[in-house]
Structure formats: structure tokens, C-alpha cells
Amino acid sequence: MKKKAVFLDRDGTINRDVGYPRSFHSIEVFSYSFEAVRKLNEAGLLTVIVTNQSGIGRGLIQEKALRDIHQRLEASFAQHHAHFDGIYYCPHYLFSPDPEYRDDCQCRKPNPGMALKAVKDLNIDTKKSYMVGDKVEDILFGLNIQARPILCLTGFGQESLPKLKEKGVELAYVAKTLLDAVDWILQEEKNDSPDQT
């Protein structure tokens, strides 16, 4: 049976967006993110990070350093009894000086490539899943994979909201924070439960 997932953007959603962090010391996780991810874990929803990391293609950070950041991020969440079921990233940049990363790829959000890989790896039903992010491309990514798109007003969320309205994009929910988004998701799941009378 296919599983439900909550796809999460990283920078601006889970942690403060500081541009192109080169080490874990540059990452400031929002304090409520630990509780938010733990709640998703406890509810049995897969929790999957999907993050554009063109800093690799731009030569600002090495891929090894990004993997180290993610390992430390996972360790940090583990200390709060929370975990991610998958972390996917796009390292590409169309004008990269390194041909390995010079690619007009299908994995950079809003393209669906990262989700397609997660679907294969984790047996996800995207139509019963959610996407939470702060940027326009996060929301369009959610729509492209037929997940329910939730805009977080942290990060670039305040700037993204009018742009999405201008495009006529219908959002499932506008959340103040990731924790607010998760609480809404869990209420939706409860409402959709066949046990509800």
C-alpha cells in the first residue's frame, strides 16, 4: 500500500534562510521544527526534505559539505526524537563552471524529479501527500506532483503569497510556521479518517 508523505522545503521552512550555508554552523533550525517533525513521525506520515541546492553547481559549496550538513541536521533532530525518512537535493545550476552540475535538470523545483525519486524509494502516493514551503517554486512543485500545497509565511513566504495570488494559485493552507502547517495537516488527516463519526 502506498504511503502518505509530507514533503518539506529546507531553507526558510525548517531553518532560517541564510543564502548558501557552507557548514552546519550556519544553519539555524527554527525551534518549533523539531516538534513539527516529531508530530509527523508520530502520526505515521513520511517526512521528506526536498531542497534546491544550486550552491553546489555555483561552486559555493562542495557536495560532500552538503551531505555533512544533512547528517548533522539529522543528528540534531534525532536528539529531539524526530527523524526524516528521506532527504533529496538538487545540486544543479544551468551555468555551472563544472560540467558535472551544468544541467537544465528535472530535479530542480518546481520540476518533480526529487519527488519522483522519493516515490520510487519510499512508495509514496503523492496525491494523498502534502508539500510545505515558503517559495513560489515549492508551491508549484507541490501542484506538479498533485500534492496539497501549503505556504509557510516564514522565509520568503510573505513575498511569495501575493505572487501566488497573482498567478491564481489555490493554496490548501497558508501557515504562519512549519508547526502551524503540521497541526493543520494532522487535523485534515483526522477529518479524513474513516473512524470519524
- Counted domains in the chain: 1
**185: helix, coil or strand?**
helix
What was the pLDDT predicted at 20? Answer: 86
Burial (Cβ within 10 Å: 0-12, 13-18, ≥19) of residue 152: buried
67-85: buried (b, 16+ CB within 10 Å) or exposed (e) per residue? Answer: eebbeebeebbeeeebebb
Q: Is residue 135 part of a domain?
A: yes
What was the pLDDT predicted at 195? Answer: 61
CATH code for the domain in which residue 103 is found = 3.40.50.1000
What was the pLDDT predicted at 99? Answer: 86
What was the pLDDT predicted at 192? Answer: 84
The residue among 115, 122, 116 whose CA lies nearest residue 44 is 122
- Give the residues of the chain that fall short of pLDDT 70: 194-197
Enzyme catalytic residues: 9, 11
What was the pLDDT predicted at 94? Answer: 84
Q: Is residue 197 part of a domain?
A: no
Cα–Cα dist 3/80, whole Å = 24
Q: Which DSSP state fits 3?
A: B
Domain that holds residue 80: 5-192
| 121 HSE (CA, 13 A, CB side) | 14
